[in-house]
Chains A and B, each alone.
Chain A
């Protein structure tokens, strides 16, 4: 077993060495260097496309998905080795996608065989870029209060309503969307629909954020026709799918607290002359390095089937609050340099824009207060929670 894994590691290392373009081993300068794939995606370079193609060819964009759905069919141990070997040469992720991190796991669990065959392969190859239609103007923390309705019109549904905070809706090809198919029950009247964003009646409008960027949109549906075989799971049982998917989203967002690495912040921000700031950063590093240990333990417990189903809420809450603190401290360490908004010197205001962006971390995917409520109810079992 161990010998097999060592063999796998050696093969993987050699293959990555031969196939990962040098350009794809450079650190990403910004979110814009990510490869999102999809019908409308413009590759930043031939190397970016080549890297996606060779990885997708092996199923390694989604290494632990089954082979028949476009995955690599790797075991958990092999997947870990692949990630370690990619990290060792600084390889960028070949594909960043909500299809991989959110929809895919839900389809694997709830999708029909033909849905899995059709959609998972497209996700694995980076052909279709997905967006998530969850929140509505009147349904944020109280997500199950959503009003966008899908009416049964015989062989299809007719969708009307509005979504908000739809990440990259203006660049996405398809949407996975929560809609109301019954008003008889709040949680039991929701269905999980997939449809093409080019369907007649779909329109989007970007939302300008305090960071000056527009990663989110408002999305409008006006008599959008959706075939009935595009429901995931049972009709009126979409809340189960939604909750499962939110668990994955929370894990992904909580991982941002690590900033992709476990090095001390104090070593990254350069010399700190102010002793009080140094002390604050050291206190932060204690919390961040301790959280990194919990992330590692969480993953091991997940694999061993020992994790409480509500534990992603603990990770999400702690990870996002930590990430906000990290950027508060980066701003403090940056002084007036970190206040510049668009100069080249400041990399177009990267520090303040990143700082402002992190303020959404504890709102999106369920606010910190929602997470604490989930922990109080499902883990601590406090009365009336």
Chain B
């Protein structure tokens, strides 16, 4: 069934006002941006996420979490997107938890994540485009552990993270899925260089340099040379989550634009009376509904362990990115001059879409995945 259960609806009803008040643009995004915060998010809010049980949303009940799934995480992320709430929820509570689950590392990190004290990051991309199979960062056996050499970029929250999940190559050649290994690298390791970059949306992502960084064998998540399994679990959860957040971004931008169409007068008429704008708003409404359905379907298939999940995750990520891009572009255009000002929030939606649209693979990357998975 592609309708929400009563429990899922209750979750949405409780998260929506929290995000709209505590996670509001003025309280969080603008605040941390304007004071030049190193993290780009507030640790106090992350603690509040924990108090609401959100940080452990995907962590099994046996390990103290809520034991819920991607549908529920998506419900939260849609509200995060709607309010542009900055937090490590997607990278830490969704992607990293999915990578760590079932591994020896889980017991070590899950309590901190549930407490809202630990931030985790995912280090995959090495060039300006996402392509996980092309990972080349080298991990060589040395003594009881491995030595890592190479670079990563677009590591969201990389400078704030207590633990960075690093995809490295232990065998094979760039382009192959086999031969990858996932390492949990703690902050402050010798040889680990962190260049914290502010992104267009005021979030932070790091460039990392690994210069003879030595880790123990127990830093391995999953199995040596078979890191694709935990990595793709993390990426698919991250992608489905990003799709849900993009739906929220699109909905938030669209709601703001519709309000404007109902208020702004030109030529003696509300601009929402003009058919040229009505039809574009109606088209956008339908597109957002399609993206929402795709994101929900992807989350449901992931939760069910369905083999079609990989395809639908790429469909959802590509569709949600395209639709959110349409929503923010229409948003700024429909707002006219005021939409170009920093004072107005609509432009912040455009900036967030740019980052989320690229995170864990752009719309074109995922359209390519749809073709590849479908066999053409």
Give me the interface of A with B, judged by CB distance under 8 Å: 263-264, 266-267, 271-272, 278-279, 281-283, 285-287, 289-291, 293-294, 296-297, 300-301, 304, 306, 314, 317-318, 369, 371-373, 375-376, 379-380, 382-385
Q: How far is the CA of A69 from the CA of B368 in the complex (A)?
A: 51
- Asked whether B297 is an interface residue with its Cβ less than 8 Å from the other chain, the reply is yes
Residues of A within 8 A of B315 (CB): 285-286, 289-290, 293
Q: Is the CB of A383 within 8 A of B270?
A: yes
Residues of B within 8 A of A383 (CB): 261-262, 270, 272-273
Give me the interface of B with A, judged by CB distance under 8 Å: 1-3, 258, 261-262, 269-270, 272-273, 275, 278-279, 281-283, 285-287, 289-291, 293-294, 296-297, 311-312, 314-316, 318-319, 322, 363-364, 366-368, 370-371, 374-376
Q: Is the CB of B319 within 8 A of A372?
A: no
Residues of A within 8 A of B316 (CB): 290, 293
A75 CB to nearest B CB, Å = 15
Q: Is the CB of B375 within 8 A of A294?
A: no
Q: Top 6 closest A-B pairs, CB basis?
A: A264-B374, A384-B273, A290-B294, A297-B2, A375-B282, A294-B293
Residues of A within 8 A of B297 (CB): 293, 296-297
Residues of B within 8 A of A296 (CB): 2, 293, 297
Q: Is the CB of A266 within 8 A of B3?
A: no
Instruction: Give the residue name and chain of the B residue nearest to A379 (CB).
Output: B285
Residues of A within 8 A of B375 (CB): 264, 267
Given A304-B3, A382-B258 in contact, is the A293-B283 Cβ separation under 8 Å?
A: no
Q: How far is the CA of A371 from the CA of B363 in the complex (A)?
A: 28
Residues of A within 8 A of B291 (CB): 290
Q: Which of A286, A297, A317, A372 contacts B370 (CB 8 A)?
A: A286
A319 CB to nearest B CB, Å = 10
Residues of B within 8 A of A283 (CB): 318, 367
Pick 18 A–B contacts, CB within 8 A, sort by A. A264-B374, A278-B376, A285-B371, A286-B314, A286-B318, A287-B319, A289-B312, A289-B315, A293-B290, A296-B297, A297-B296, A318-B290, A373-B279, A376-B278, A376-B281, A382-B273, A385-B272, A385-B273
Residues of A within 8 A of B318 (CB): 283, 286
Residues of A within 8 A of B368 (CB): 279, 282
Q: Is the CB of B2 within 8 A of A384?
A: no
Residues of B within 8 A of A371 (CB): 282
B274 CB to nearest A CB, Å = 9
Other 4 A-B pairs with CB < 8 A, given A297-B297, A314-B289, A380-B282 = A264-B374, A286-B319, A296-B297, A373-B278
Q: Is the CB of A372 within 8 A of B374?
A: no
Residues of B within 8 A of A272 (CB): 376
Please indicate which of the listed interface residues A317, A372, A382 has the most CB atoms of chain B within 10 Å of its own CB: A382
Instruction: Give the residue name and chain of the A residue nearest to B279 (CB).
Output: A372
Q: Is the CB of B286 within 8 A of A318?
A: yes
Residues of A within 8 A of B283 (CB): 317, 372
Given A296-B2, A373-B278, A380-B258 in contact, is the A286-B293 Cβ separation under 8 Å?
A: no
Q: How far is the CA of A198 from the CA of B270 in the complex (A)?
A: 53
Q: Is the CB of A267 within 8 A of B294?
A: no
Q: How far is the CA of A262 from the CA of B63 in the complex (A)?
A: 39
Q: Is the CB of A314 within 8 A of B285?
A: yes
Q: Is the CB of B278 within 8 A of A372?
A: yes
Q: Is the CB of B376 within 8 A of A373?
A: no
Residues of A within 8 A of B282 (CB): 317, 371-373, 375-376, 379-380
A272 CB to nearest B CB, Å = 6
A127 CB to nearest B CB, Å = 37
Residues of A within 8 A of B376 (CB): 264, 266-267, 271-272, 278, 281
Q: How far is the CA of A56 from the CA of B235 in the complex (A)?
A: 51
Q: Is the CB of A384 within 8 A of B272?
A: yes
Given A373-B278, A375-B286 in contact, is the A279-B262 Cβ separation under 8 Å?
A: no
Please indicate which of the listed interface residues B262, B315, B318 has the most CB atoms of chain A within 10 Å of its own CB: B315
Q: How far is the CA of A62 from the CA of B290 in the complex (A)?
A: 29
Q: How far is the CA of A384 from the CA of B364 in the complex (A)?
A: 39
Q: How far is the CA of A285 from the CA of B364 in the complex (A)?
A: 12
Please indicate which of the listed interface residues A282, A290, A293 has the most CB atoms of chain B within 10 Å of its own CB: A290
Q: Is the CB of B370 within 8 A of A285?
A: yes
Residues of B within 8 A of A267 (CB): 374-376
Instruction: Give the residue name and chain of the A residue nearest to B318 (CB).
Output: A286
Residues of A within 8 A of B261 (CB): 382-383
Instruction: Give the residue name and chain of the B residue nearest to A278 (CB).
Output: B371
Instruction: Give the residue name and chain of the A residue nearest to B368 (CB).
Output: A282
Residues of B within 8 A of A375 (CB): 282, 285-286
Q: Is the CB of A297 within 8 A of B293?
A: yes
Q: Is the CB of A281 within 8 A of B371?
A: yes
Residues of B within 8 A of A379 (CB): 282, 285
Q: Is the CB of B286 within 8 A of A314?
A: yes
Q: Is the CB of A300 within 8 A of B3?
A: yes
A37 CB to nearest B CB, Å = 34
Q: How far is the CA of A294 from the CA of B273 in the complex (A)?
A: 29
Please indicate which of the listed interface residues A264, A286, A379 has the most CB atoms of chain B within 10 Å of its own CB: A286
Q: Which of A266, A287, A317, A369 contacts B371 (CB 8 A)?
A: A266
Q: How far is the CA of A317 from the CA of B289 in the complex (A)?
A: 13
Instruction: Give the residue name and chain of the A residue nearest to B271 (CB).
Output: A383
Residues of B within 8 A of A380 (CB): 258, 278, 281-282, 285
Residues of B within 8 A of A369 (CB): 279
Q: How far is the CA of A278 from the CA of B297 in the complex (A)?
A: 25
Residues of B within 8 A of A263 (CB): 374
Residues of A within 8 A of B278 (CB): 372-373, 376, 380, 382, 385
Q: How far is the CA of A178 from the CA of B10 in the complex (A)?
A: 46
Q: How far is the CA of A287 from the CA of B318 in the complex (A)?
A: 9
Please indicate which of the listed interface residues B270, B286, B322, B368 has the most CB atoms of chain A within 10 Å of its own CB: B286
